[in-house]
Chain A
Amino acid sequence: QSVLTQPPSASGTPGQWVTISCSGSSSNIGSNSVYWYQQCPGTAPRLLIYSSNQRPSGVPDRFSGSKSGTSASLAISGLRSEDESDYFCAAWDDSLSGVVFGGGTKLTVL
């Protein structure tokens, strides 16, 4: 049981806009930055979003992050076949004094 809650799956067609949600509490998302990672099978995770809505250099602007209260979202516009991956959210948790992750969302491009 993960501290942050994500839907186990999401899907979309090429060119579509999709969002992945991440729900937490006042001790994590509510008071700290949210991070998003993309992980293709058999590879290391890749940072997509930090500080809730900032993109590292090299991440396409098709990926965007937002946060409101104790929830956060990752949006992907202009969906491409190569976006088919697992996506994880994360945040620092003040009560646990550690980083907590969501259980991951498997994105399928139909």
Chain B
Amino acid sequence: EVQLVESGGGLVQPGGSLRLSCVASGFTFRSYWMHWVRQAPGRGLVWVSRINSDGSTTTYADSVKGRFTISRDNAKNTLYLQVNGLRAEDTAVYFCARAVDTSIRGVGYWGQGTLVTVSS
């Protein structure tokens, strides 16, 4: 069974930083593209970033480019999102998600999310 467990969220002041983690199990982590998607309270889904299976290729939404960094440690089955320069509009639940399968890169299976609240 695919399991994705996020952690690292919390309350942070504007301009602050956090590192979100997502521990994967139930599949061969190193074979899949991975994504981060966020959802502000009461709002829709917004894609944040994706990374290829070996970590050599990353892509970001314009709204986070230069502030967020996606990375992975395949030895630890863990996906990361370093979030810097946080703004109030970054307040959201951040979901880690796995690609549908090894040849279909789209967002497939989701974790339960971790809440990031940016407020003074």
Interface residues of A (CB under 8 A from B): 2, 33, 35, 37, 39, 43-47, 50-51, 56, 88, 90, 92, 96-104
Contact = CB atoms under 8 A, between A and B. Distances in A.
Contacts of B46: 101
The 6 lowest CB-CB distance pairs between A and B, nearest first, are A99-B47, A44-B110, A101-B45, A104-B44, A50-B100, A103-B44
Contacts, number: 62
A17 to B, nearest CB: 25
A56 B110 CA distance: 14
Contact of A98 (B61, B100, B108): B61
Interface string B25-68: 00000000001010000001111001000000001111000000
Contacts of A98: 47, 59-62
Interface residues of B, number: 23
Nearest to B112: A44
Main secondary structure of the interface of B (DSSP, over half): strand
B104 A51 contact: yes
Contacts of A97: 59
Contacts of B50: 99
A35 B107 contact: yes
Contact of B106 (A43, A46, A90, A104): A90
Given A37-B45, A44-B113, A50 B95 contact: no
